[in-house]
């Protein structure tokens, strides 16, 4: 199996590494040798860590011997599958797909690792829109087990099945969306966490550190919400927010992320975002106060409401949402499992309180309202998103 990866940045080099670790032949394409050489160093560094920890038996050099790099698309002439991972600019993605469409064999599949751009918008530019699909990895790809598979309205079901199998061959757990929605499952929920975190800070309910302390110490998330935004890249956060809201997602007034991007403080990649990091591209866990007054149910309330929306619209079910959050974001428990434990009545109270302040996005979803009004409030009542014996 030969895989072409276009774009060797944060996600692209990680995807190439994952494919090579799975024994696949990889063709990695980018616009300059400087960028490609940097990607090779990053793959080597990551593989070395995985080898030293015993996660992989093969040496980094042996894995990397399956990766060929080039600034030309010509090396993808024999590829069975291509994955694009370039910045979130629709015109740029379309250009990449036009190039791939010319070079990659006609019966091969073209996938995009976009965070939020609709797959149909990208596929339409090619001569094979039924062979174009979303294959969404999580940062860092070598560690995160999830791959979201997003068929567009044109995608052939065989292409979806092939992509699901490919994700499994790469050692990942695929979650397949039934219908394409902007931001998919992962980033729709991530957006809601970002929005609520921002609302709390900008309305002076809490500081950045207090929100993150509650996320990490009370909810036991691996990173605080702002810390995760820094890790993903604040430019990426602003882009995915814009794409989802422009396509119908409800907005929440917030300027914090945009202001950081305007100041070129992009998070880990630039060495500074909401927090300072040792050097550009080098993450180290941020120091947070052990105590925080922020109720954990407040942090996840809007995200749970989004989960209810995804269920209401039959995009995925509760288990699939939780798989996304556990394997894509390393949540210790699923988002809806957490909601059931906290109590859906408490989640609903948070939503009502905040929507009463005038925030449209927090209007409780009918699925949630119905559950609470019929006494399904989670673990305490024996039934919520899940049934408890």
What angle in degrees, to the nearest 10, is found between the helix axes of 296-312 and 335-342? Answer: 120
CB of 48 to ligand 3HC, least distance (A): 8
| From 95, 253, 264, 285, residue interacting with ligand 3HC (rule: CB under 6 A) | 285
CB of 157 to ligand 3HC, least distance (A): 25
Q: Which stretch binds ligand 3HC (CB under 6 A): 28-36, 140-148, 243-251, 260-268?
A: 140-148
Bond preceding residue 208 cis, omega within 30 of 0: no
Q: For the segment 156-215, give every residue that binds ligand 3HC (CB under 6 A).
A: 186-187, 190
* Residue 216 and residue 224 in contact, taking contact as beta carbons nearer than 8 Å: yes
Query: Is residue 271 involved in binding ligand 3HC (CB under 6 A)?
Result: no
CB of 123 to ligand 3HC, least distance (A): 19
- Measured from the Cβ of residue 185, the count of other Cβ atoms closer than 10 Å reads 25
Query: Is residue 242 involved in binding ligand 3HC (CB under 6 A)?
Result: no
Q: What is the 3-state secondary structure (H, E, C) of 178-190?
A: CCCCCCCCHHHHH
| From 9, 140, 271, 295, residue interacting with ligand 3HC (rule: CB under 6 A) | 140
Query: Is residue 217 involved in binding ligand 3HC (CB under 6 A)?
Result: no
* Mask for 8-47, x = binds ligand 3HC (CB under 6 A): --------------------------------------x-
CA 98 to CA 23: how far, in whole Å?
A: 28
Q: Which stretch binds ligand 3HC (CB under 6 A): 56-64, 167-175, 228-236, 332-340?
A: 228-236
Instruction: Give me the residues paired with residue 109 across strands.
Output: 81
The SS3 call for residue 150 is: strand
| From 29, 133, 201, 223, residue interacting with ligand 3HC (rule: CB under 6 A) | 223
Query: Is residue 241 involved in binding ligand 3HC (CB under 6 A)?
Result: no
Report how far Cα 203 is from the mean position of its chain's Cα atoms.
27
CA 388 to CA 382: how far, in whole Å?
A: 5
Active site residue 13: no
Question: How many residues in total does the chain contain?
Answer: 389
- Structure tokens belonging to residue 367: 């699925």
CA 271 to CA 280: how far, in whole Å?
A: 4
Of the candidates 8, 108, 115, 305, the residue annotated as catalytic is 115
CA 22 to CA 14: how far, in whole Å?
A: 12
- Structure tokens belonging to residue 348: 């609903």
| Closest CA relative to residue 361, chosen from 223, 262, 244, 228 | 244
CA 266 to CA 234: how far, in whole Å?
A: 5
End-to-end CA distance of the chain, in Å? 46
Of the candidates 187, 214, 292, 305, the residue annotated as catalytic is 187
CB of 187 to ligand 3HC, least distance (A): 5
Measured from the CB atom, the residue of 220 and 253 that comes closer to ligand 3HC is 220
| From 70, 120, 319, 330, residue interacting with ligand 3HC (rule: CB under 6 A) | 330
Measured from the CB atom, the residue of 256 and 330 that comes closer to ligand 3HC is 330
Q: Which residues contact 165 (CB under 8 A, 6 or more apart)?
A: none
Q: Give the CA distances from residue 376 to residues 16, 76, 297, in Å, rounded to whole numbers and listed in that order.
A: 45, 53, 17
Q: What is the 3-state secondary structure (H, E, C) of 368-386?
A: HHHHHHCCCCEHHHCECCC
Query: Is residue 83 involved in binding ligand 3HC (CB under 6 A)?
Result: no
Query: Is residue 95 involved in binding ligand 3HC (CB under 6 A)?
Result: no
Of the candidates 17, 148, 210, 306, the residue annotated as catalytic is 148
CA 190 to CA 329: how far, in whole Å?
A: 9
Measured from the CB atom, the residue of 82 and 225 that comes closer to ligand 3HC is 225
Measured from the CB atom, the residue of 296 and 328 that comes closer to ligand 3HC is 328
- Measured from the Cβ of residue 45, the count of other Cβ atoms closer than 10 Å reads 11
Query: Is residue 236 involved in binding ligand 3HC (CB under 6 A)?
Result: yes
CB of 138 to ligand 3HC, least distance (A): 4
Active site residue 187: yes
CB of 89 to ligand 3HC, least distance (A): 15
CB of 285 to ligand 3HC, least distance (A): 5
User: Which residues contact ligand 3HC (rule: CB under 6 A)?
Assistant: 46, 49-50, 53, 115, 138-140, 142-144, 186-187, 190, 222-223, 228, 232, 236, 285, 328-330
The residues assigned a catalytic role are 115, 136, 148, 187
């Amino acid at each position: 199996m030969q895989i072409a990866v276009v774009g060797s940045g944060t996600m692209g080099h990680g995807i190439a590494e994952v494919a090579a670790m799975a024994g696949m032949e990889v063709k990695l394409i980018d616009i300059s040798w400087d960028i490609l050489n940097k990607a090779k160093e990053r793959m080597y560094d990551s593989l070395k860590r995985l080898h030293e920890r015993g996660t992989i038996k093969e040496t980094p050099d042996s894995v990397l011997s399956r990766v060929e790099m080039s600034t030309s698309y010509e090396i993808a002439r024999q590829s069975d599958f291509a994955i694009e991972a370039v910045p979130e600019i629709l015109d740029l993605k379309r250009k990449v797909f036009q190039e791939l469409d010319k070079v990659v064999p006609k019966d091969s599949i073209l996938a995009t690792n976009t965070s939020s751009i609709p797959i149909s918008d990208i596929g339409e530019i090619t001569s094979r829109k039924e062979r174009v699909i979303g294959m969404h990895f999580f940062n860092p790809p070598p560690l995160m087990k999830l791959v979201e598979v997003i068929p567009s309205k044109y995608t052939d079901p065989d292409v979806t099945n092939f992509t699901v199998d490919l994700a499994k061959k790469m050692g990942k757990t695929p979650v397949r969306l039934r219908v394409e929605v902007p931001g998919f499952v992962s980033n729709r929920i991530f957006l809601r966490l970002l929005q609520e975190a921002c609302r709390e800070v900008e309305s002076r309910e809490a500081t950045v550190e207090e929100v993150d302390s509650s996320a990490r110490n009370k909810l036991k998330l691996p990173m605080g919400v702002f810390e995760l935004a820094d890790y993903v890249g604040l430019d990426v956060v602003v882009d995915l927010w814009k794409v989802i809201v422009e396509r119908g997602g409800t907005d929440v007034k917030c300027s914090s992320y945009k202001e950081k991007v305007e100041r070129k403080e992009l998070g880990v990649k630039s060495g500074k975002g909401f927090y300072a990091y040792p050097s550009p591209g080098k993450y180290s866990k941020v120091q947070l106060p052990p105590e925080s007054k922020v109720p954990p149910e407040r942090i996840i309330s809007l995200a749970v409401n989004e989960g209810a929306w995804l269920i209401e619209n039959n995009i995925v079910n509760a288990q699939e949402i939780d798989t996304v959050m556990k394997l894509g974001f390393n949540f210790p428990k699923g988002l809806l499992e957490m909601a059931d434990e906290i109590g859906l009545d408490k989640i609903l109270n948070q939503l009502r309180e905040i929507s009463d302040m005038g925030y449209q996005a927090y209007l409780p979803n009918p699925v949630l309202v119905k559950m609470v009004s019929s006494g399904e409030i989670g673990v305490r009542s024996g039934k919520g998103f899940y049934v408890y014996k």
